[in-house]
Structure formats: structure tokens, C-alpha cells
Amino acid sequence: MASLRVELVAADRLVWSGDAKRVIARTVEGDVGILPNHAPMLSLMISGVVDIQTPDEETLVAAVDAGFLSVAENRVSILAERADLSHDIDLEQARAELERAHAAGENDDEATAAVRQAEARIRAVERAR
């Protein structure tokens, strides 16, 4: 069976690279599931959670900020300003970031983006448990 070659990249580093059976990511059009032999696509991602299932049945969960998702010839590239695997996220720190973002005001675009980012980090940790 074919597999996907996945690269999860943050602006400052390669977060994870390896083979996968499936990838689920959140785009501006909604959640997209990618299996081997998926049609080529390029999409904008929004802050959210990326779910990667490896051939060993391990599920990796990552929180990502807005970015790009590219699929072509069984290669998936996820490019985000910030990306963290769930086991690298400090849950208490993420909750504190969420509280600060809420306190900054919800009418501010920057504060709204910070809320989405903190919520994604919390969801990634909770989903991985």
C-alpha cells in the first residue's frame, strides 16, 4: 500500500518528517483528509490541529498557526508560522496564553488570532491524551 511522505514545517524549523497513512488538517474551506494517491491540491490553512497517522498506527497531533498545505504525488507539505507537536506543548502555559488573549479584547484582529492559536494548542494536547 502506498504511503504519504509528510513534512510539518514551522517558520524556524522542521517539526516532523516521516511516512503517514493519513493526514487531517483544517483549511479555510474546512477539514480535509488526505490519503495516499490524493489529488494534487494547494490550500490555505487556519489555526488548528493537524492529525497525522503513521504506518505504525501512531497518531501525531500538532497545533499549527495559519499557513499552507500542499499535496502532490503522495507528498504532503504543511507550512505554518508556528507548529508544535502536542507532547512539546505546556498545557498550563497554553491556558495562560488563552486567558491573556481573551483579556486583550475580542474586537482586535491580533487578539482574535491569539485566541485561535491558544485554543489550537490546548486542543492538540487534549486530543493526544
Helix ranges, the chain (H): 91-103, 109-128
CATH number assigned to the domain covering 4-85: 2.60.15.10
Per-residue confidence in pLDDT tens, the chain, 129 aa: 689 999 999 999 999 999 999 999 999 999 999 999 999 999 999 999 999 999 999 999 999 999 999 999 999 999 999 999 999 999 999 999 999 888 877 667 787 888 889 999 999 999 887
The 10s digit of each residue's pLDDT in 69-104 is: 999 999 999 999 999 999 999 999 999 999 988 887
pLDDT at 59: 95
Full-model pTM: 0.88
Contact by Cβ (8 Å): 124, 87: no
pLDDT at 74: 98
What DSSP string runs through 15-41? EEEEEESEEEEEETTEEEEE-TTPPPE
Find residue 49's DSSP bridge partners: 63
Mean pLDDT, all residues of the chain: 93
Domain ranges of the chain: 4-85, 88-128
Contact by Cβ (8 Å): 41, 75: no
